[in-house]
Chain A
């Protein structure tokens, strides 16, 4: 791990973009990213919501030790969230490095370890002692499992996990017990939204044990036709089975989206073309734009690029923009606090710059 000052780490984060938004990998016109997170706790120490100051501190120090010595974490950084302003914490949320809960919780010694590519992040003292997360672009859960499993093994060499034979990995919330694993796939489903089948599909998959969430996970709204599908069941199935099941369910949604896209393309190509170019026109000319409007237009443009009715900008730029235009990210880039109106102005400038590149 590299020892760096908080301001340097944040500056680097502002300038870098995560690998998972690069728009490469299998099925990226529909699948934005895949993610796995593992919940792990250290044996003998109360879970963070119940732990005392000294115990939280020990866990934080342990995370420094574990990641500090290991070559797997060579290019990683560690941030102590207690030292960050609310804006800086929110920026990490928008970067998908930490959860909203982790950013807003008042507990001391909350940490975040992440690597340079922003594919790996470990939340320290969130609801569980360690929440290890790995993100890649496109549909590649099996790859992620291989990578995160290795990291988990490495941490386990230095830490004894709370584990029981019957219940598996013990977690603060019983809804994570067992594998402690939540696998999710972020999908962009504009065609299904357009033909009004999205609600039926989402209702069905939630009935068979999957959860659908918005762009920023638990409790967040759906925006830009982005949906995160994840497993609910964590006990009684192996990690491979959970991944396989989730991929199968997702594949069916992808098939439906592809079919809807094809039908729309053959029935109303000119309408789709018009929609995409109009979105491009507004994004490229607006002087004031809200995040809701921007997300909606970016979704339409992304849809058009996926269909091939418009070729510019590329998926990477569009994915990146969906993050950059979020409130805290915008203000971090501007280097100052902005009010609502100021953000709408700044957002319009940023979008025009990125799109015309």
Chain B
């Protein structure tokens, strides 16, 4: 098999990545492998600038899109600060908090590569504490419910379900207000 980067030399090394349960393989020749592994590695060697890593990841994602035949979207731009996605790819820095929303399709694979399928579980600003804590609690209860059903502990599951419904009712009311 030919190297997937230079497409000239015979591939010698295979990188396997499992992201979100999905396995992808990339075959590289001896010359392209070191460059690629440097840029691709989530854990840089010492003295590695974190921004290089990020830009490397962004390029790796683009490469994957190319491999998978995804047609690149036309220039997208943040509706608030007007940063374009291409500008972000060059600097590795987002322009404002709205960029996270407007570029979410592009950011999701990036964040997944950086952090796995994770969501924020740390501190919550006090101003939004009440609401967010409820959402977190509902998520946790739903997970418990799923486990209880699997274990066929239906009585406990019913109680958990009621608790979820109650909490969801409260948070819907709050949202309506």
Contact = CB atoms under 8 A, between A and B. Distances in A.
B121 A202 contact: no
A167 B120 contact: yes
Contact of A237 (B93, B107, B121): B121
Contact of B93 (A47, A161, A162): A47
Of listed A164, A210, A237, residue having the most chain B CB within 10 A: A164
Interface stretch (A18-26, A175-183, A326-334, A346-354): A175-183
* Contact-size category for B: 35 or more
A179 B120 contact: yes
9 contacts: A50-B83, A163-B128, A164-B101, A170-B97, A173-B54, A174-B114, A203-B46, A206-B45, A236-B120
A166 interface: yes
A202 B48 CA distance: 12
Contacts of A47: 93-96
A276 interface: no
A172 interface: yes
Nearest to B122: A179
B5 interface: no
A179 B135 contact: no
Sorted from nearest, which 8 A-B pairs have the closest CB atoms?
Answer: A236-B118, A168-B120, A50-B95, A162-B97, A179-B122, A46-B96, A235-B115, A212-B46
Of listed B120, B127, B135, residue having the most chain A CB within 10 A: B120
A178 B122 contact: yes
* Contact-size category for A: 35 or more
Contacts of A4: none
B139 to A, nearest CB: 10
Interface string B111-139: 10011101111111111100010010000
Interface string A106-130: 0000000000000000000001000
Interface string B131-152: 0100100000000000000000
B93 A49 contact: yes
Contacts of B75: none
A189 to B, nearest CB: 13
A166 B119 contact: yes
A232 B96 contact: no
Interface in A146-196: 149, 152-153, 156-157, 160-170, 172-175, 177-179, 181
Interface of B: 42-51, 53-54, 80-81, 83, 91-97, 100-101, 107, 110-111, 114-116, 118-128, 132, 135
Contact of B100 (A170, A207, A236): A170
A181 B122 contact: yes
A29 interface: no
Nearest to A42: B97
Contacts of B111: 167, 174, 177, 235
B132 to A, nearest CB: 6
A232 B43 CA distance: 8
A45 B45 CA distance: 35
A233 B115 contact: yes
Contacts of B123: 149, 152, 169, 179, 238-239
Contacts of A105: none
Nearest to B82: A50
A218 B93 contact: no
A73 to B, nearest CB: 18
Contacts of A152: 123
Nearest to B92: A173
B109 to A, nearest CB: 11
Contacts of B114: 174-175, 233, 235
A164 B125 CA distance: 10
